[in-house]
Amino acid sequence: MSTLRTIAAAALIPATLAVGLLASSQAAFAQANCDWYANTALQQQKINVDRKCGLKGESWSFARSSHIAWCLGVSPDQWKRQAQFRDQELAKCQAGATR
């Protein structure tokens, strides 16, 4: 019986390691995505300020850590929509400035 337990325990070690590696790589992937998101948000905020668009709110700040924290707490669809929303708002501002 002891041998069976040892074999069973040994069989679980690779599976446990694989789960740990998967979780670690998923966290790294999420962090990389949120780094991109935060960098994009900062670039968009710079455009907002440079063009004097006057866009305000939590989405419009230079607080990189806030953008990353928000991104890590939402689905990729949500942070992608938010980046697209800021692009649309900046496009409206640009269109208004060229009229």
Confidence tier at 16 by pLDDT (50, 70, 90) = low
Of the two residues 5 and 34, the one the predictor is more confident about is 34
* Cβ-based neighbour number of residue 79 at 10 Å: 22
Instruction: Give the model confidence (pLDDT) of 84-98 as tens digits.
Output: 999 999 999 987 765
Instruction: Give the model confidence (pLDDT) of 19-53 as tens digits.
Output: 554 556 777 767 888 999 999 999 999 999 999 99
Which tokens in the block code for residue 27? 């966290």
DSSP codes of every residue in 1-33? -HHHHHHHHHHHHHHHHHHHHHHHHHHHHHHHH
Q: Distance between CA atoms of 66 and 64, rounded to whole angstroms?
A: 5
